[in-house]
Each structure stands twice: as structure tokens, then as C-alpha cells.
């Protein structure tokens, strides 16, 4: 998914001619010295250019043409108004316009003029009394049609004036503004209130452009842009800046007492004369997506505050990942999700054959596979199976031993102490911690992805090894290409070193490691990334855990899917970005169900 600004709009007026009338009857004295001349400008669009003033959208691109009554203000280098030229005729293909009007105070010889176009809704006759023009874009309505209301195309050209002769000039006007098309993507079905407004901010966002009538150059002022009325589909004028390292555009809208926020990373300085939108790679274009999350200020609401990252779509289902790994309290028999993605608990339940939990941890974050039983579709859990006693438990198991929380956390008493996962653990039905968590929450729909679904996410978005605030792990970013990811990481101030995009089974161990990308938590948030910490693994035989170690890069990630494998295994996502080549592994494969591993739920998004 292309999140970055592409050069798409060339603006120019080429091969334009400026003529005077040879009749002295058209020459009158202005209030200043010199003569007045009836002038004609023929403005032609270059073949590869988009001259405006009327805009129409074509497969997401802009077609820009001249319209009747378009106006050009003409001044000299001292800022004196010389007159206004008006478009009186348009060629059949609308690529050429003939402007006519009277210019005043002209002298024979070489003279330099400034030419200005201000937009469809600006009367050039009323501009310039104070020697300047300010284009205020601090309030916009977000509609496509309003883009042509206020514009700024300027140029400067020297011509030669001679008595009774034709005056010819080739004009190339430069557009001093750019345009952008954004789509706000809300996690839930949100109907924005009629009086809602979108506030757009950012260090690199300008909202005013000023031109002195002595020069064609524009000066830009920093400030917010308010889009009113609010809409999820926004077209806006975007002013240039000089922030080469990029910046963040922040979007905020308050509707019906709830605030929604989103950010968009801009990798480079905004240039003039461009149209920023997403290239669909098939000759068409669409809006740049801004993922919006809701904030209602309440402490007990998990409906909006428990998910992070972009909206993913797999097999027609849309979801977002929960904000951190799943945890379980063995004392209260309740699940929870910590506040930050980097938080985790490296603790597991009791080992195979043991009657007590090793070390008696109160909160665990490493689970044996199989929290609850469901049918073969992860998206349609069966509530009747919530308290299911599984066939692979020992004969002396009780229903209380098989609560969904204890199936994966405290671990059942088994009939064998084999050093391998016992064959008694064979079970080919998918299991999903999301069923238990959904039942506990009483709202939303949470799931554990199947191995097929997880592979699709890894292969179709940008997955890589990463370290966040010293915590090692894996990351999924809302981009599709390596270059997009690199630009975004640089834009937020993160670091990368010989970065590679991972797929579901990497065999070249030299191409990844936790040190390939380094971020702080704020940068992770700005990137809208999903981070999976290397939170260790539970040993089924000893009850001990293999702890990650940030200092020596020997940690590993083990994350369960809901998919079984050949018994007694289930499918796990494994990442080991160790410092030495021999320790590096990364794939989605089967592992014994009796091992303790992390769980990261997703929450279904309904629109």
C-alpha cells in the first residue's frame, strides 16, 4: 500500500503569445506615466502538463483545463498593477485559452512583468491594493469541487515593448500549491455528526501562502487546517514546506462526544505543483488512507482502546490486532491485555505431569495451545464449546481442570511425563483464545488468526525484525514494499540497517535480525505498527521459561495460531533474530502443543 507522496501534477502554460493592437485608438494614458495597450495572451497547455482552472477526476488523476472568465493579474517588479487579462475563448480541447485585456502605464523597451492566477473564486480586479495577496487555506470544505476556488499560479517574464509593434512572451506559470486526497478509515461504523470538523495539524503543515506583487515567489506560514463539514473523504489544498526529513500529519475529529485521531507519515518535504494520492499500480489512483482510532475518555471501555495498527483484511474479514499480548491471572481466572505493545509476562503454567504451577506465577503470558474448542472456522466460534472437556485430557481430569483459561495456562494433569509432548495431546480441532476473551469482555469479537490468515498478513504487508525501546521482537507495518517502509522509518526518526522484508519462511539467516530496525515507542505509534515482543517460551518438561535477553540478542518470538498441525503439534509463528547467523530462524510451522507460547488476538472490524 503506497502511503507516500508521488509526483503526479505538472503545471505550466507553454508557448503563450502576447500581442498588442496596432491601432493607436486603443492606447490611452494611465494615471501614471506611459501608455495603455490592448493585450492578448494565448495560453497553451503542455502535452504532459496539467494546467487548470477547472478540475475533473479521471481514474483518481486530475484533468485540469481552462475556463471562460479565468483571470490573470499583471504587475511590474515594483508591485504596480498593470491590468487584468480575462479568458475570452477556449480551444475545443480546452488546452488553450485566449486572454485579453488592457495593460496600463507601459514604456517602450524591455520590461519585466509578474503574472498571477488566484483561482476561480478570486476576483483579480480586487487584488493588490496593498501590494500583496494572501491565500488563506486554514479552512477548507474537503470537497473535490472546491479545489479550484483558490489557487496560486505565478511567473515572471521580461518582454520588449515597442511603439505600434506586437508584444510576444512565452509564459510558464508555476503552481505554488499542491493537492491531496485522503480517506479517513474508522475502525467501527462511524457516522460523523453534521457539525463535526476535522482538525489537521503537523510540524510541516502550512495554511497560508503570501505573494508580494513585486515577485512571483510565495511565502508560507505554518498553521492548522480545519475541514468543515467533516467527511471521511477529503480533498485538500496542501502547501509546500522545506522539511526534507519528513513529518507527521495528524488528523482529529470530535463527533457526538467522542474524539477520533489518526496520523499519516510524510516521508519528504511537500513540493509545489503536485497531487498526492495512492498509486494503485494498475494505472488508477485512489485516496491515501489515514487509520482513525476512537477515544472516549472512559477508563472501563475496551471497545476502541484495545487495538492498534491498521485495519487488515483477509478473506473478506477485517480486523485489527489487540494492543498487546494476552495475559491470564491464575488467581482470579481472568484474561487481560496490558497497555503497551512492548509489555509482556515471561511466565508459564505447570509443567507436564506436575501437580502445581512451577514458581506459582500469578500472571502468565505463555500459554499451552488450546484455550477453547471451536469448530473449523475461526470466524464463527461456537459458544457451546466454550467449556468443552477435550478428548486428549487425562482420564482423571475434571471440568474445572478444563476451563478455557486453565487449558492453556495452568496446564492439565496428564497421564505421561514424556520428555516430548505426549500423544495424548492429539487434537485436530482449531482452538481460539478469542472465544474465551470475547465471553469475558461481553462485547466485540476477538479471534486468534489461523496459520493461513497469519501468513497472508505477513506476506502482503511489511514484516521484519525490530527492537522497540530495547525490547526485541517482530513488527508488521502498514506498507507493502521495502522502500515505503524505509521512507516511513526515516520520516519518524527511526533507524534501520540492511533491512529486509520477511515472508512466512525465510531460509537466508543473514538477512534478518532484531538489530535491523530500531525504534522508540513514539516512533512505533507514529508508524501505526504492530509489534510482537520476543517474550520467551515455556518448557513443558521443567515448567521453566526461556527468557529473552535484549543485551545479547538471544531472545525469540513464539506466537500461537489457532491451527492444529500433525499431532501432537499446532502451528506457531517463530522468530529468532539472534546475533549469530546459526541462531537466526524465522517461519510458520508446527510445534508441540505442550510448549508455552504467546498469544496475540485480533478484533473484528465491522463497517
Among the ranges given (73-82, 95-104, 236-245), the one the predictor scored with the smallest mean pLDDT: 95-104
% of residues, the chain, pLDDT over 90: 23
Confidence check: pLDDT of 530 > 60: yes
Q: Do residues 492 and 527 share a domain?
A: yes
Residue 599 is predicted with a pLDDT of 92
- pLDDT score at 360: 59
SS3 content of the chain, % helix, strand, coil (to 5): 10, 40, 50
Question: Is residue 158 domain-shared with residue 70, that is, in the same domain?
Answer: yes
- Count Cβ atoms within 10 A of the Cβ of residue 144 and give its class: 0-12 exposed, 13-18 middle, 19 or more buried: middle
Averaged pLDDT, 256-280 = 84
Residues 458 and 586 in one domain: yes
Last residue of a domain, one of 249, 271, 299: 299
Q: What is the band of 75 on the pLDDT scale with cuts at 50, 70, 90?
A: very high
Interval 433-450 mean pLDDT: 79
My answer on whether 213 and 149 are in the same domain is: no
pLDDT at residue 17, as a whole number: 25
Q: Are residues 164 and 226 in the same domain?
A: no
pLDDT given for residue 253 in this prediction: 94
490 found inside a domain: yes
pLDDT (0 to 100) of residue 377: 29
Kindly report the CATH number assigned to the domain that includes residue 213.
2.60.40.2630
Question: Is 429 inside any structural domain?
Answer: no
Per-chain mean pLDDT for the chain: 72
Could you say which of 299, 332, 362 is where a domain stops?
299
Q: Check pLDDT > 80 for residue 231.
A: yes
Highest mean predicted confidence (pLDDT) among 378-392, 460-474, 575-589: 460-474
Q: Which of 185-194, 394-403, 419-428, 539-548 has the lowest mean pLDDT?
A: 394-403
Residue 372 forms part of a structural domain: no
For 32-74, how does the pLDDT look when each residue is reduced to its tens digit (9 = 90+)? 455 666 556 555 433 333 333 444 555 555 556 678 888 999 9
Specify if 29 maps to a domain. yes
Q: Do residues 166 and 189 share a domain?
A: no
Contacts of 441 (CB under 8 A, 6+ apart): 302
pLDDT confidence tier of residue 298, bands split at 50, 70 and 90 = very low
Whether pLDDT at 165 is above 90: no
- Point out the domain boundary residue: 299, 320, 342: 299
**Number of domains present in the structure of the chain:** 3
d(CA 132, CA 577): 59
pTM above 0.75, yes or no: no
Q: Specify the DSSP class assigned to residue 431.
A: B
- pLDDT band of residue 388 (cuts 50, 70, 90) is very low
With a cut of 70, say whether residue 242 has pLDDT above it. yes
Average pLDDT over residues 229-240: 93
Task: List, in order, residues 6 or more apart from 316 with CB less than 8 Å away.
Answer: none
Are both 20 and 93 inside the same structural domain? yes
Closest CA to 121 of 81, 95, 150, 90: 150
Residues in the chain: 607
pLDDT-derived band at 170 (thresholds 50, 70, 90) equals: low
In a domain, 259, yes or no: yes
Residue 568: inside a domain: yes
Asked if the structure places residue 511 within a domain, the reply is yes
Q: Say which residue, 266 or 531, is predicted with more confidence.
A: 531
- pLDDT confidence of 410, banded at 50, 70, 90? very low
Provide the residue range defining the domain that includes 159. Answer: 14-130+143-175
pLDDT at 358 over 80: no
Whether residue 157 is found in the same domain as residue 217: no
* Lowest mean pLDDT across 113-127, 160-174, 199-213: 160-174
Please indicate, yes or no, whether residues 171 and 70 belong to a single structural domain of this protein. yes
Whether 106 shows a pLDDT value over 50: the answer reads: yes
Asked whether residue 158 falls in the same domain as residue 193, the answer is no
Q: 539 falls in which pLDDT band (50, 70, 90)?
A: confident
| DSSP assigned state of 26 | G
Q: What is the pLDDT of residue 265?
A: 75
Question: Do 156 and 32 share a structural domain?
Answer: yes
For residues 469 and 572, membership in a common domain is answered with yes
Residue 518 lies inside a defined structural domain of this protein: yes
Amino acid at each position: 500500500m503506497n502511503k507516500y507522496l508521488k509526483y503526479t501534477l505538472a503545471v505550466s502554460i507553454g508557448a503563450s503569445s502576447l500581442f498588442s493592437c496596432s491601432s493607436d485608438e486603443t492606447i490611452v494614458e494611465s494615471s501614471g506615466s506611459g501608455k495603455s495597450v490592448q493585450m492578448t495572451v494565448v495560453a497553451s497547455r503542455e502535452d504532459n502538463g496539467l494546467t487548470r482552472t477547472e478540475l475533473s477526476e479521471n481514474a483518481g488523476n486530475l484533468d485540469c483545463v481552462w475556463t471562460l472568465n479565468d483571470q490573470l493579474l499583471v504587475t511590474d517588479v515594483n508591485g504596480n498593477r498593470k491590468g487584468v487579462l480575462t479568458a475570452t475563448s477556449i480551444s475545443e480541447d480546452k488546452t488553450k485559452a485566449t486572454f485579453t485585456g488592457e495593460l496600463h502605464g507601459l514604456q517602450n523597451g524591455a520590461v519585466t512583468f509578474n503574472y498571477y492566477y488566484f483561482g476561480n473564486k478570486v476576483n483579480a480586479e480586487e487584488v493588490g491594493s496593498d501590494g500583496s495577496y494572501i491565500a488563506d487555506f486554514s479552512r477548507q470544505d474537503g470537497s473535490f469541487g472546491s479545489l479550484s476556488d483558490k489557487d496560486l499560479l505565478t511567473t515572471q517574464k521580461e518582454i520588449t515593448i515597442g511603439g505600434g509593434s506586437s508584444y510576444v512572451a512565452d509564459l510558464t506559470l508555476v503552481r505554488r500549491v499542491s493537492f491531496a486526497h485522503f480517506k479517513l478509515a474508522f475502525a467501527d461504523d462511524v457516522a460523523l455528526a453534521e457539525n463535526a470538523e476535522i482538525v489537521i495539524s503537523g510540524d510541516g503543515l502550512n495554511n497560508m501562502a503570501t505573494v508580494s506583487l513585486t515577485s512571483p515567489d510565495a511565502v508560507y506560514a505554518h498553521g492548522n487546517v480545519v475541514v468543515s463539514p467533516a467527511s471521511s473523504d477529503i480533498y485538500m489544498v496542501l502547501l509546500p514546506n522545506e522539511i526534507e526529513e519528513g513529518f507527521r500529519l495528524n488528523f482529529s475529529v470530535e463527533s457526538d462526544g467522542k474524539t477520533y485521531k489518526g496520523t499519516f507519515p510524510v516521508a519528504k518535504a511537500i513540493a509545489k505543483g503536485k497531487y498526492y494520492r495512492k498509486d494503485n499500480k494498475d494505472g488508477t489512483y485512489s485516496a491515501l488512507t489515514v487509520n482513525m482510532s476512537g477515544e472516549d475518555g472512559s477508563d472501563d471501555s475496551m471497545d476502541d482502546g484495545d487495538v492498534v495498527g491498521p485495519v487488515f483484511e483477509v478473506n473478506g474479514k477485517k480486523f485489527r490486532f489487540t494492543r498487546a499480548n494476552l495475559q491470564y491471572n491464575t488467581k482470579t481466572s481472568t484474561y487481560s491485555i496490558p497497555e503497551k505493545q512492548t509489555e509482556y509476562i515471561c511466565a508459564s503454567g505447570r509443567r507436564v505431569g506436575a501437580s502445581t504451577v512451577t514458581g506459582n506465577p500469578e500472571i502468565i503470558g505463555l500459554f499451552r495451545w488450546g484455550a477453547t474448542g471451536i469448530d473449523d472456522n475461526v470466524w464463527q466460534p461456537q459458544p457451546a464449546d466454550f467449556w468443552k472437556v477435550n478428548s486428549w485430557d487425562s482420564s482423571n481430569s475434571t471440568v474445572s481442570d478444563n476451563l478455557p483459561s486453565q487449558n492453556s495456562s495452568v496446564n492439565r494433569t496428564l497421564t505421561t511425563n514424556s520428555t516430548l509432548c505426549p500423544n495424548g495431546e492429539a487434537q485436530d480441532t482449531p482452538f481460539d483464545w478469542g472465544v474465551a476473551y470475547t465471553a469475558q469482555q461481553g462485547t466485540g469479537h476477538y479471534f486468534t488468526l489461523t496459520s493461513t490468515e497469519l501468513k497472508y498478513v505477513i506476506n502482503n504487508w511489511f514484516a521484519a525484525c525490530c527492537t522497540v525501546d530495547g525490547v526485541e521482537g517482530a513488527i508488521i507495518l502498514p506498507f507493502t514494499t521495502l522502500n515505503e517502509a524505509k521512507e516511513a522509518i526515516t520520516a519518524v526518526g527511526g533507524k534501520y540497517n540492511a533491512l529486509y522484508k520477511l515472508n512466512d519462511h525465510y531460509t537466508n539467516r543473514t538477512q534478518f535480525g532484531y538489530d535491523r530496525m530500531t525504534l522508540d515507542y513514539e516512533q512505533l505509534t507514529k508508524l501505526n505498527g504492530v509489534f510482537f515482543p520476543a517474550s520467551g517460551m515455556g518448557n513443558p518438561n521443567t515448567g521453566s521459561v526461556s527468557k529473552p535477553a535484549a543485551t545479547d540478542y538471544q531472545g525469540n518470538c513464539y506466537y500461537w495460531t489457532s491451527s492444529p498441525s500433525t499431532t501432537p503439534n499446532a502451528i506457531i509463528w517463530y522468530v529468532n533474530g539472534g546475533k549469530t547467523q546459526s541462531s537466526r530462524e524465522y517461519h510458520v510451522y508446527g510445534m508441540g502443543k505442550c510448549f508455552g507460547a504467546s498469544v496475540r488476538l485480533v478484533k473484528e472490524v465491522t463497517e
